[in-house]
Amino acid sequence: MGGGLPVVFTPVINFQSGIHILNEKEALRILQKLREVKTP
């Protein structure tokens, strides 16, 4: 039971930072897709 608590709290603590990381990755993917569309 005790080992499960840090696993639950870790994503909650890193939730905000995780959003920034996901946004950056998504932004890079969107830019790559846009470049692929612009370059036939």
Instruction: Report pLDDT for 1.
Output: 47
Q: Say how far apart CA 28 and CA 22 lie, in whole Å.
A: 10
> Number of folded domains in the chain?
1
Structural domain boundaries, residue 29: 4-38
Q: For CA atoms 28, 29, 30, 33, give the dihedral sign.
A: positive
pLDDT in tens, 6-32: 555 555 556 666 666 667 788 888 888
- Token duo for residue 13: 């603590």
Supply the pTM of this predicted model. Answer: 0.40
